[in-house]
Structure 1
Amino acid sequence: MDWHPHVTVATLVENDGKFLFVEEIKHGRRVLNQPAGHLEKDESLLEAAYRETLEETQWRVEILGVVGIGLYTAPANGVTYHRTSFFARPIAFCPEQKLDSDIEQAIWLTPDELRKRRHQLRSPLVLECLERYLDGQRYPLTMIY
């Protein structure tokens, strides 16, 4: 077997009714995503979520729990992503942290603002994760081992 899913994490960060997203360039297109990325060798899922959030948004966060775990196969490349989505609150903005090179900016949006920009979503998982969170689908970190 030479098929392997890509293990990824995403972090939904809420502050006063707004959520932290990133605008990034993918395949020549400006898209919206949660701070997200791939798990690196010898890293836990939580460590990856903390790292990716800081690298992509300049925000340190406190991860509070899990929104969900899912699979997504990208139509553009056929790659299957195994994504664990966390929810968090912001702790500190760290302007000294340089943004990842493919990130245009980190932005705070209300759910309605994101819904209006759904044509810009990197994948359907972005809005799906937010809607699940808003529907109260929040699970303890103890489910991760």
Structure 2
Amino acid sequence: MKSDTWAPHVTVAAIVERDGRFLVIEEHTPAGLRINQPAGHLEAGETLVRAVIRETFEETAHRFEPEALVGAYMTHFQRPDGDVTYLRFTFCGKSAGEEAGRALDDGIVRAMWLTADELRASVERHRTPIVLTCLEDYLSGRRVPLDFIHTHSVAPALRA
């Protein structure tokens, strides 16, 4: 049975800078090999902060320590099988170390460190235009404290 309920796909992404370079991934997509920030979907029962920590670790083997929210970004895509909307929360922070030899998520070819200029020069290889938008927002100094984000659990008896 098809549902008429519309819901955006909620995703998280991490901007990790070290020595003027940014941690990105190279991944297989339906459009070919693409560059993206470590990113992925929010899972049921997860907070946004826990999701970005998990996704960054799964895709890069780096332990991510979020420091701030850079922004929230919404994108609509038209696809043959139906339109889709993504709501992306991008965080910035630092790597607390890498687990060497750890297998990366399926579809991830490698994690790599690129400069802002290298990312600007490879825009045609970005997974979406949001990759560069988030980077430029980060470089411009956009930061929202993590305590801006609130997660509320609802008691089972109160759920609709």
Corresponding residue for residue 16 of structure 2 = 13
CA shift digits 1:99-127 (9 cap, x unpaired): 00110000100000001100001001100
Corresponding residue for residue 109 of structure 1 = 114
1:79 aligns with 2:84: yes
Specify the structure having the higher radius of gyration (Cα): 2
CA shift digits 1:13-62 (9 cap, x unpaired): 01011000000010050001000000001111011000000000010021
Structure-1-length-normalised TM-score? 0.96
Q: Give 1:74 shift.
A: 2.5
Structure-2-length-normalised TM-score? 0.87
Letter in 1 for 2:106: S
Q: Any gaps of 5 or more consecutive residues in structure 1?
A: none
Specify the SS of the correspondent of 1:55: helix
1:97 aligns with 2:102: yes
The size of the alignment, in residue pairs, is 145
Hey, what's the Cα distance between the residues in 1 that align with 2:128 and 2:21? Answer: 20
Runs of 4 or more above 2 Å deviation:
74-78
Tell me, yes or no, if the aligned pair for 1:54 and 1:97 is still in contact at 8 Å.
no
Hey, what's the Cα distance between the residues in 1 that align with 2:127 and 2:70? Answer: 18
Corresponding residue for residue 67 of structure 1 = 70
Map 1:131-142 to 2 at 5 A.
131-142=136-147
Tell me, yes or no, if the aligned pair for 1:65 and 1:140 is still in contact at 8 Å.
yes
CA shift digits 1:70-99 (9 cap, x unpaired): 201124463100110000111111124320
